[in-house]
Amino acid sequence: MIEQIEQKANYCLNCKVKPCSQKGCPLNNNIPDFIQALKKEEYIEAYKILSETTVLPGVCGRICPHEKQCQGSCVRGIKGEPVSIGELEAYVFDKVHELGYNLSDCYEKKEKTNKKVAIIGGGPAGLTCAGFLAKEGINVTIYDKYDYLGGLLVFGIPEFRLPKEIVKATVKDILDLGIEVKYNKELGKDFELKDIEDQYDAIFLSIGANVSSKMGVEGEELKGVYGGNELLEYNLHPEYTNKKVIVVGGGNVAMDCARTINKLGAKEVTVVYRRAEEQMPAERKEILDAKNEGIKFAFQNNIVKIIGQDKVEKVELIKTDLIKKEGESRLVPVNIENSNYQVDVDYIVMALGSKPQEYVKDLGLKLNKWGNIEVDDEYKTSNPKIYSGGDLAGMKGTVAWAAKSGRETAKNIIKSI
């Protein structure tokens, strides 16, 4: 293992331009420098370099879409294989913890100020915001609806992609910076914004947006139609043995649902995606893993109707063609007339994106046309004391982009309070 890591680290050219960092990484991690430290077996130094820009290296090293981000911009990848940046990042996190160090060892301790900030939601954005505030001496309190932190890192990403022990170690690292947590406190149920607004100098809303979007087709309300986000969050799966399941969507949530359902014993799992395979937003590795596990794919197919009496019995699909359309950056799917056909199915899982909870409309904050909380360039909402980030504010849907919104919000809060 160590020899392989050394080999992969030495493969890095230590580019001065750093396209992997500047162009590929949402967090702009200093990738060449941390790899240089790794080459010298200076693991703590490598971790310190990463910790300047992220508090989630053990997570992002495992689940980021590296092929589309850092590794997709790697100079080595122009004529061959890119540097295995994700694997090296994860290795640094694991090695440092194996040596008995953690995040708090990477920062110069600062005296506590009298400033107080509340973070509502302990997912990637909230944890990152909390970490970067705490290391500057701000008193941080996280409110979370569960009795654990991590958000989608725990419920949205299966164990086979991100071990829960890694999430626990990451959360512990961040909390060890001196952060208070109020567990089992759900916004809109256990407390309201007005209940705590006067107690803090700023509030960061990062409760995510985990209500599954629907297709708007006939039969969506039948028993046996599930939202992918809810299935992963609440883990309330039906019995899949000898059942045929269709998962609709082309992102990583669709892949996670399909692979999870397959591992739970479904007879047949098919991913239906209305565009071509090369247009799927899911990471290539996840698609290949799903195929290798026996999951079927129906590309350029669209669901037009779900059929059944009280529960799902069949689904009607239609084939699609892809055309160029003015104003669109990618080919647009259009239904091919008279190409309809029906297949038997027991369950249908919608993994088409997500939207915020209904109670977000009652927070008294301005929303955009998609129902996300509207923020300015500093992540401030229509209430200047309240900030928002991650999925709730409509950020790009990866952990790294959510984390970036949390980090940048922390910087803006520090400037303003």
- The answer to whether residue 366 is domain-embedded is yes
The predicted structure's pLDDT at residue 327: 82
- pLDDT by residue (tens digit) across 217-267? 999 999 999 999 999 988 889 999 999 999 999 999 999 999 999 999 999
- The answer to whether residue 287 is domain-embedded is yes
- Give the count of alpha carbons within 13 A of 286, CB side only: 29
Q: Are 378 and 412 in contact (CB under 8 A)?
A: yes
CA pair distance 278, 394, nearest whole angstrom: 24
Are residue 347 and residue 245 in the same domain, yes or no?
yes
Final residue of a domain: which of 105, 133, 164? 105
Tell me the pairing of strands 314-323 and 341-344.
Answer: antiparallel
Are residue 147 and residue 249 in the same domain, yes or no?
no
- The answer to whether residue 149 is domain-embedded is yes
Contacts 24+ apart (CB under 8 A), 156-159: 156/210, 156/229, 156/232, 156/233, 156/253, 156/256, 157/63, 157/232, 157/256, 158/232, 158/256, 158/259, 158/260
Higher pLDDT, 71 or 16: 71
Are residue 222 and residue 198 in the same domain, yes or no?
no
What angle separates helix 164-175 from helix 85-98, to the nearest 10 degrees? Answer: 60
CA pair distance 317, 303, nearest whole angstrom: 4
Are residue 227 and residue 331 in the same domain, yes or no?
yes
Are residue 377 and residue 331 in the same domain, yes or no?
no
Among residues 51, 87, 116, which one has the least CA distance to residue 407?
51
Number of domains making up the chain: 3
Are residue 276 and residue 216 in the same domain, yes or no?
yes
**Single-letter amino acid, residue 311:** K
- The answer to whether residue 402 is domain-embedded is no
- pLDDT by residue (tens digit) across 254-306? 999 999 999 999 999 999 999 999 999 998 899 999 999 999 999 999 999 99
Is residue 72 scored above 80 in pLDDT? yes
Are residue 192 and residue 271 in the same domain, yes or no?
no
CA distances from 148 to 151, 182, 384, 411 (A): 8, 10, 29, 26
- The answer to whether residue 401 is domain-embedded is no
pTM, two decimal places: 0.92
Two structure tokens written together for 371: 């129902």
Q: Which domain holds residue 232?
A: 212-353
Q: Which helix (H) or strand (E) holds 408?
A: helix 399-416
Spell out the residues 6+ positions from residue 150 whose beta carbon is closer than 8 angstroms to its own: 122, 123, 127, 167, 170, 171
Spell out the residues 6+ positions from residue 72 whose beta carbon is closer than 8 angstroms to its own: 24, 66, 82
Give the burial string for 105-140 (b: 16+ CB within 10 Å, else e).
Answer: ebeeeeeeeebbbbbbbbbbbbbbbbbbbbbbebbb
- The answer to whether residue 400 is domain-embedded is no
CA pair distance 186, 188, nearest whole angstrom: 6
SS3 371: coil
Two structure tokens written together for 376: 């300015």
Spell out the residues 6+ positions from residue 14 whose beta carbon is closer than 8 angstroms to its own: 32, 35, 36
Are residue 370 and residue 331 in the same domain, yes or no?
no
Are residue 337 and residue 252 in the same domain, yes or no?
yes
Is residue 397 scored above 80 in pLDDT? no
Q: Are 390 and 405 in contact (CB under 8 A)?
A: yes
Spell out the residues 6+ positions from residue 394 whose beta carbon is closer than 8 angstroms to its own: 209, 368, 370, 372, 373
| Count of C-beta atoms within a 10 Å radius of residue 340 | 13
Are residue 85 and residue 114 in the same domain, yes or no?
no
The predicted structure's pLDDT at residue 374: 96
Are residue 198 and residue 79 in the same domain, yes or no?
no
CATH number of the domain encompassing residue 261? 3.50.50.60
- pLDDT by residue (tens digit) across 150-165? 999 998 899 999 999 9
SS3 167: helix
Are residue 23 and residue 113 in the same domain, yes or no?
no
- The answer to whether residue 8 is domain-embedded is yes
Final residue of a domain: which of 57, 77, 105? 105
- The answer to whether residue 118 is domain-embedded is yes
Spell out the residues 6+ positions from residue 81 whose beta carbon is closer than 8 angstroms to its own: none
Percent of residues, the chain, with pLDDT higher than 70: 100
CA pair distance 82, 62, nearest whole angstrom: 16
